[in-house]
Chains A and B, each alone.
Chain A
Amino acid sequence: MALQPFLALGAILFAIGAYGALTKRNLIIVLISLEMMLNAANINLVAFSHFGKTPHVAGQVFALFIIALGAAEVAVGLGILLAFFRMRNSADVKDASAMKW
């Protein structure tokens, strides 16, 4: 097994997540797509931690940090989403245009 297949998988997963984040209209689906992009980054980190010139566990530690930060991000994002839904009775990105110029 080599390094490149894992990096290619990370790139494809990142691209799928980017497509969802840019085109979906449901705010929750946008959040889900962001999580997929974070996961793609994690695949790269762990792959380099395993296949790097000097294999080191630091990549796994960084992946753990990203997992924890992703959990915090989801908590805050869903809190904002629920407040927004209570205010506008909608979870559509089109309705979240109050701060658009």
Chain B
Amino acid sequence: MFFGMPLTGQTVSFFLLALLIIASGVMLMTLTKVMHMAVALAGVFLGVAGIFILLGADFVGMAQILVYAGAITILMVFALMLTQKGDDTESPEASTGRSLLTLLGVVVFTGIMLLVLRGTTWPYSQSAVDPYTQPTVVLIAQSLYHTYTIPFELLSLILTAALVGSVVIARKED
């Protein structure tokens, strides 16, 4: 038994992934060189992708790797490189007092959340086997193209508008 849970491969991999995510997140907040921050960011995103795959959502996990760990991390690295002036250390944070107060608020928030999570009785939540009847790709495709067709189309509209808009905004004016 480990934290009240049976010691299975799933539990072990969950705790390893959670350790990766939280350690990378804390590193992201404490490192000073922005390039190191980008590497820690990739750690967070890959860990979350692992959590998705652990939860049986392999398609979402792969999309997470492609979009977040691949595209968004690289985009952030490019933006960091484009907006640096010589030194690659981050400017110091806001005043120490404000940082400490924010830290206090965040810690209190997390504590309350964890207490509530512990205290609530969730609907039956011990599913040992894979709960999906078919491969999730099939289920997602059916759901996406039957139930959520209009949101899907609207989403493609938003993506197009956002990409065109960002090019227009970032273009040099002359």
Contacts and interface: CB of A to CB of B under 8 A. Distances in A.
Q: Are A and B subunits of one complex?
A: yes
A60 B85 contact: no
Interface string B121-133: 0111111100110
Nearest to B18: A9
B92 interface: yes
Interface residues of A, number: 69
The 5 closest A-B pairs by CB, nearest first: A79-B166, A55-B131, A72-B162, A53-B123, A3-B125
A11 B158 contact: no
A21 to B, nearest CB: 10
Interface of B: 5, 8, 10-11, 14, 18, 21-22, 25-26, 28-29, 34, 37, 41, 44-45, 48, 51-52, 55-57, 59-60, 63-64, 67-68, 71-72, 75-76, 79-80, 82-83, 85, 90-94, 98-99, 102-103, 106-107, 109-110, 113-114, 117-118, 122-128, 131-132, 136, 139-140, 143-144, 147-148, 151, 155, 158-159, 162-163, 165-170, 172
A57 B163 contact: no
Contacts of B60: 42, 46, 60, 63-64, 67
Contacts of A39: 44-45, 48, 64, 68
